[in-house]
Amino acid sequence: MVCRKPPDGGWGWVIVAVSFFTQFLCYGSPLAVGVLYLEWLDAFGEGKGKTAWVGSLANGIGLLASPVCSICVSSFGARPVAIFSGFMVAGGLMMSSFAPNIYFLYVSYGIVVGLGCGLLYTATVTITCQYFDKHRGLALGLISTGSSVGLFIYAALQRELIELYGLDGCLLIVGALSLNILACGSLMRPLESSSSPPPEKTCVDKVPDQYFAYHKKEKTIEENISILEKGYIDEKCVNNVPDCKQDSILNKNVLSSISINEKDTYKKKVVEQTNFCKQLAKRKWQLYLTYWKETMVLFKNKVFSALFVAILLFDIGGFPPSLLMEDVARSANISEDDYYMPLISIIGIMTTVGKLILGILADFKWVNTLYLYVTTLLMTGVALFAIPFAKSYLTLAMLSGILGFLTGNWSIFPYVTTKTVGIEKLTHAYGILMFFAGLGNSLGPPIVGWFYDWTQEYDTAFYFSGFCVLLGGFLLLLAALPCWNACTNQSSKLPPNTYSYKVASNA
């Protein structure tokens, strides 16, 4: 069964709407964790690097598990995964309100909430790409703004809830709001299949059906034999008591012959089960080998190899400001009277603007999305280098807005991936790239925090962050300049990914 051509509209816009609210609800608190970060520093008294692990895990663990998330979405579909993940996000946030120490938060907020967000992100991106082709850039830009709007609103909301109900009450209320993800997930209707006849099963695929048919047939024969035997004996014993003994002797002979047949049947079952297990193991092993062969084919693409390095370095250097900018302002001794709006909220609203504008630009034919993505990386590196020179709220707010707008390149990253490897390889390639993005998200804030614990200032940390992002941008630019068109044409000739995308289409 193969999905029909993307409709580029219709129910697809409902998918965009529910995906927007899903990302709004699940990513609002983890992206605005900078507000909670200050509270956890005061509550548990741990170092900045150690405390930063909570927020970095929440934003990185889901991306680290992207290959697993992709397999889950491919196997079960976007709707069941979204509903299950809603329970994970809500449960993790509520459990975090009872955290006795920072290590409990590593599990409840970092791993449980982070993994739920990763599953939801993969589900929303996958189903949106299946529903859109011509307007894919716009659709991805719209749904990705959900997390940015969530960052903007949750930064102020969590601060207000902490003042009214304390840190524990804030997490409980935010967790209850996350239960609305269940309603959004229920509306993620899978794309209807085409009317073409299903492909014929291979011999290996027919093994389970053959076994179960055989098992059912043998069970029916045994039941019929036992029923006939019991009826025959009961009838003879009631009508003719003296003949009952004689019939019992004859019945022993019948039973002995039946037992022989049962032994033969049992042997046949054992042979069938053994053959079934061997064929199933062989099939799984072939799928495993196919998966890794396709992975090696992806890394032969120079642009893809440079892309995974760039996304790793970008998240190591570009993610910490969204988590630590509030503490940067506090470390700069900025007066609260000059603090008109949380810096995290500025990052959030400008990220929304960036995602929309960059997503719209990606749909123009004259715009090379890869070059556009490289430009955002280089500008982000320059902005990170400027943070140590910002000593007032106004300059920090301006840099937060610039960084937020450039972070909107997340909306075009799936578009860049699709153009690099093709739609057939999207789920497979995107899972690999998100793994490295999650690794960068997990390592970035703790590294910056450790730099502060070591030097007692953020200057060295942000010089390091800017260098990482600039290095990733230059490497991707060098890989793209000579062979962008060649790699695109080569990726379009790759065989379809029967392991992930075709299965996802059946969802």
pLDDT of residue 211 exceeding 70, the answer is: no
d(CA 203, CA 199): 13
**How many domains, in total, are found in the chain?**
2
Task: Give the CATH number of the domain where residue 3 resides.
Answer: 1.20.1250.20
In a domain, 412, yes or no: yes
Segments forming the whole domain that contains residue 432: 275-483
Q: How far is CA 389 from the centre of its chain?
A: 37
Does residue 280 sit in the same domain as residue 164? no
> Would the pLDDT of 499 be above 50?
no
- Residue 257, pLDDT > 60, answer no
Q: Do 38 and 141 share a domain, yes or no?
A: yes
pLDDT tens-digit map of 470-481: 999 998 888 877
Locate all alpha helices (DSSP H) within 106-180, ordered by sequence. 114-131, 136-178
> For the whole prediction, is pTM greater than 0.75?
no
What is residue 467's predicted lDDT score, i.e. its pLDDT?
92
**What is the structure's pLDDT at 291?**
64
238 lies in some domain: no
Model pLDDT for residues 217-241, shown as the tens digit of each residue: 444 444 444 544 444 444 444 444 4
Per-residue DSSP letter, 97: T
* Residue 300 and residue 173 in one domain: no
The answer as to whether 122 is a domain residue is: yes
DSSP alpha helices (H): ranges in 179-241?
A: 181-186, 203-239
Asked whether residue 62 is domain-assigned, the answer is yes
User: Does residue 289 share a domain with residue 417?
Assistant: yes
CB 376 within 8 A of CB 358: yes
Residue 342 lies in a domain: yes
- Do residue 294 and residue 406 come from a single domain? yes
d(CA 79, CA 273): 34
For residue 325, what pLDDT is reported?
Answer: 81
Boundary-marking domain end, from 138, 156, 191: 191
Nearest in space to 381 (alpha carbons), one of 312, 469, 311, 445: 469
Residue 244 lies in a domain: no
Q: Is residue 300 domain-shared with residue 172, that is, in the same domain?
A: no
Give the number of other Cβ atoms within 10 Å of residue 380's Cβ.
Answer: 26
Separation CA 310–CA 304 (nearest Å): 10
Q: Is the residue at 213 inside a domain? A: no
With vertex at residue 256, the alpha carbon angle to CA 253 and CA 262, rounded to the nearest 5 degrees, is 145
> In this predicted structure, what is the pLDDT of residue 319?
79
Whether the predicted pLDDT of 463 surpasses 80 = yes
Task: Kindly state whether residues 326 and 436 are assigned to the same domain.
Answer: yes
Say if CB 134 and CB 110 are below 8 A apart. no
- End-to-end, the C-alpha distance of the chain in Å comes to 10
State the average pLDDT over residues 304-328.
83
Clarify whether residues 418 and 294 are in a common domain: yes
Per-residue pLDDT of 117-133, as tens digits, reads 888 988 898 888 888 87
The pLDDT value given to residue 112: 93
Q: Are 5 and 131 in contact (CB under 8 A)?
A: no
> Average of pLDDT values for 15-36?
89
Residue of 408, 387, 389, 409 lying closest to 343 (CA atoms): 387
Residue 228 inside a domain? The answer is: no
Indicate the range of 61-70, 266-275, 332-341, 379-388 predicted with least confidence: 266-275
